[in-house]
Structure formats: C-alpha cells, structure tokens
Structure 1
Amino acid sequence: MTTGLPLIVTRPEPGNAATVEQAKKLGLDAHAMPLFAARPIEWRAPAAENFNALLLTSAFAAKLAGADLAKLSSLPVYAVGAATARAAEGAGLTVAMTGAADARRLLDDMASRNIRTILWLCGRDRSEFDARDASITPLPCYKVEPAQPPAEWSALIAAPAILLAHSARAARRISDLVGDERGHLALVAISSSVAAAAGEGWRDLAIAGQPNDAAMLAEAGALWHKDAK
C-alpha cells in the first residue's frame, strides 16, 4: 500500500509518532508533520478531598502535569479515550472509567454515578461544554502552541496527499497553511465539528466513524484505495 498517496499526520508529539506507527502497520505511507507542540505550564494541585473525581480529556494532561499530579492520586480518573487512560495509569493514577466517545458522553456516565464535583486537568486552550448538574473546575497544566511546519511540508502538500486533523484547532491551522489551492488534497477529520473547521474545497473530506486513530486511519485507507482505482 505504500506506493499510494502520502499520509500527513499533523498532531503534536508524542501522539504523532503513535499515529504514524499505526498507519505504517496498515501499509500507509505516513509522514510525521506535527504542526503543534505541547509543553507543560506551571500549576498547583488543589486539595484532592474537595473533589469526587479527576477528568482527563487528553493524554497530555497525564504526561505533562509533572510532580504535582501525585497529590491527586487518590481521585478516581475518568478518561476520554484509551490513550488518555493508558497515560493516566502510566502516571500512577487509577482509572475508574474510559469513555470511548467524547467528554459529553463521559460526563453523562459520571452523572449516573452521582459524581458532582469534578476536577478537570486540561490544556490552556480548551473547548467548553455543558456540565449540566455537575460542578467542573478546569485546571490547565499544559499548553499546545503552533510549531513551524517541518521542511518537507511544502513539498508534501504540493502534490496529492491525505491529511489527518485531530482537532478543530488543527483543522483551522491546516486550512490556513494550505490556502485555497486544496483541490488535490484529501482530509480526514476526527469529528463533524473538526470537518466544519476545515472549511470547503478539499478533494475529499472524510469524517471518522469514531473519534479515535483507528477510525481515522480506516477512512485514510479508504481514500487511498479510492485513489488507487
């Protein structure tokens, strides 16, 4: 399959390497082109006894939180996605539930368990969502900032290729960098909202059936086969 369209993976590390590895196992010609870099920021852990649970929506929170994360180890973790759950366990936390969809669905599950006071360890730039009856305290512990595109970026997007957008912010950045000349490019978005952020004019715009790497790579494979015909 590696003779087909190149696959451009734009998410920050360390997730980029993991996606590239999985793509190559599927025979895709994957290229690591991170357009963002995640970095820790200063924060202080509050008293764990003031909360019922710790919400993690990104693996970056567990990977970049640093030493203060240990002060929250008594809280059960509710994680969005298997990668986030693995990162939490690797940091010494106890995962009570892993949500397969998104934060909204996971919060519904938490409400059914009567979890009302939640500490959300998150990024500096984040999407807000309706907490409904719960009290959610967001606490940023990392930031994700734009990075200079790698040297191979311009050559890759000049020819037909498939790009992956893991967030609305990434979709907007990809769109800005590519510009209006995008009719030869295909894009796979992790969700419908991310697809909307990417705008129009793509040769193909596919949306993953589930918000995870496996579903995104399945769509990328389908686009590769479509091009190979």
Structure 2
Amino acid sequence: MPRPIVVLRPEPGNAATATRVEQAGLVALRLPLFCVAAVAWTVPDPAQFDALLLTSANAVRHGGEGLARLRELPVVAVGEATARAARAAGFTVLLTGSGDAASVTAATTGRLLHLAGREHHAVAGATTIVVYATEPLPVDGSLFEGSVALVHSARAAARLAAIVEGEARESIVIAALSPTVAAAAGDGWRAVEASDMPRDEALVALAVRLAGRDGD
C-alpha cells in the first residue's frame, strides 16, 4: 500500500500541492507548518528603482494596497508561479527565473526593490522591504509516521527536523524541493531525495514515486 504524502507548505500553496497528489491517486495529508500574514510596510518612491524583485508569490498575495504604487515597475520573478501571481495583480513581468534568486538577479541590471518575507535571504545589490511573515503552526509529529513528507523550503525542513527527532524519523521518507532543502532536514530519515527541478510539479512527481516504491 502506498505511503500517504504529507504536504507541509503554507496555504494557498498547500491546497494546490495536495490536489496534485490526490489527482495522482494518492492520499494527501494537509499539515502546513506555517501560516503567512501581511506586515505593515512603507512604500518607497518607485522612481528610485528600475525593477521589482519578487522571490515569492506571497509578496503579491500579502503586499496589500501599497503594491498599486509600484505597478509601474517591471517585475523580475524568481519562478513561474511568482510571475503568474504578479501578472494577475496587474504587473508586467520583465524576466522569469527557474527558482533561484541568485541566477535571476545575475541576469538583471539596474536598481532592484525586493519585496520579501521576514525570514528572507539577502539578495546582493537589491534593496529589501519586508511585506509578509510566516508564523509557525502547532503540528503533532506523530502524524508523519510512515509517510512521505513533501518539503518545499529549507526553513520547513529545519522545522520538521525539530518536530520529529531520533528514532521517529526512521519510518519517514523526505521528498525535498532541492539539495539545499534536503540538507536542511538533517539525518536519520528512512530516505531523503531531492527533486531534479525546483518546481512543485516535479516535487510531487518525486513524492508519488517514493510513496509507491516504499509503501511497506
């Protein structure tokens, strides 16, 4: 019998990923480790910047009314999901990367305004303003037993490692979005594999394969 797949990312991404899992014919357990909320921020003068750097669709979802003042700036998006969210909010997307902020900014010249989450990675050459934050949610670690944990971020991997310790890890398989995310989960799991592409579709495909291969 295939293992259930536990989806850890915050909403609304959690529901989208879980739906992909269910469409593949497997059981998805929706256990977000964090929730995302807007924070107050001051909109800078858009004339001081040449483009808007978005490394997460959450910046668009939770940026609030201040985004309207920045809509004249073209968007540099770290990935296609972020680019779609920017277009839906009325922005023009100048460049879309493949999921890595360093590579997309290396292909960009000019002054970048980075709208980011509170727990963000610094982007060289960009001015960063925090517009949202992710807060931890209480999760029962016993719910992961015998599952494939589908992990989208290094922060989620580290949180999962804090929730599930010692021998409890031995029945859990980790499907990680990237090698960096896999490394953040630490050791002691039944198996850990990273997706060959940092995209939700590829990660779900990996989790489905792991769930079916190791469903004892």
TM-score strictly above 0.5: yes
SS of the residue corresponding to residue 53 of structure 2 reads strand
Structure 1 residue 171 corresponds to structure 2 residue 164: no
Structure 1 residue 126 corresponds to structure 2 residue 120: yes
Q: What number of residue pairs does the alignment pair up?
A: 215
Post-superposition Cα deviations, 1:108-136, rounded to whole Å, max 9, x if no partner, equal 221xxxx220000000111124x2xxx31
Partner amino acid, structure 1, of 2:15: A
Deviation at 1:155, TM superposition (A): 4.7
Structure 1 residue 214 corresponds to structure 2 residue 201: yes
Q: Is the CA contact (8 Å cut-off) linking 2:2 and 2:213 kept in structure 1?
A: no
Hey, what's the Cα distance between the residues in 1 that align with 2:215 and 2:188?
A: 21
Instruction: Structure 1: give runs of 5+ residues left out of the alignment.
Output: none
Hey, what's the Cα distance between the residues in 1 that align with 2:42 and 2:169?
A: 44
Partner amino acid, structure 2, of 1:144: T
Structure 2 matches for 1:106-125, cutoff 5 A?
106-110=104-108, 115-125=109-119
Partner amino acid, structure 2, of 1:117: R
Residue identity (%): 42
SS of the residue corresponding to residue 201 of structure 1 reads coil
Instruction: Structure 2: give runs of 5+ residues left out of the alignment.
Output: none
Partner amino acid, structure 1, of 2:114: W
Post-superposition Cα deviations, 1:164-187, rounded to whole Å, max 9, x if no partner, equal 111111001101111112111000
Structure 1 residue 203 corresponds to structure 2 residue 203: no
- Structure with larger RCO (C-alpha < 8 A, sep 6+): 2
Partner amino acid, structure 2, of 1:39: A
Hey, what's the Cα distance between the residues in 2 that align with 1:147 and 1:57?
A: 23
SS of the residue corresponding to residue 107 of structure 2 reads helix
Hey, what's the Cα distance between the residues in 2 that align with 1:121 and 1:18?
A: 23
2:13 corresponds to which residue? Answer: 15
Hey, what's the Cα distance between the residues in 1 that align with 2:45 and 2:96?
A: 24
Hey, what's the Cα distance between the residues in 2 that align with 1:182 and 1:106?
A: 36
RMSD between aligned alpha carbons? 1.4
SS of the residue corresponding to residue 182 of structure 1 reads helix
Which runs of 4 or more aligned residues in structure 1 lie more than 2 Å from their structure 2 counterparts after TM superposition? 153-156
Hey, what's the Cα distance between the residues in 1 that align with 2:172 and 2:13?
A: 23
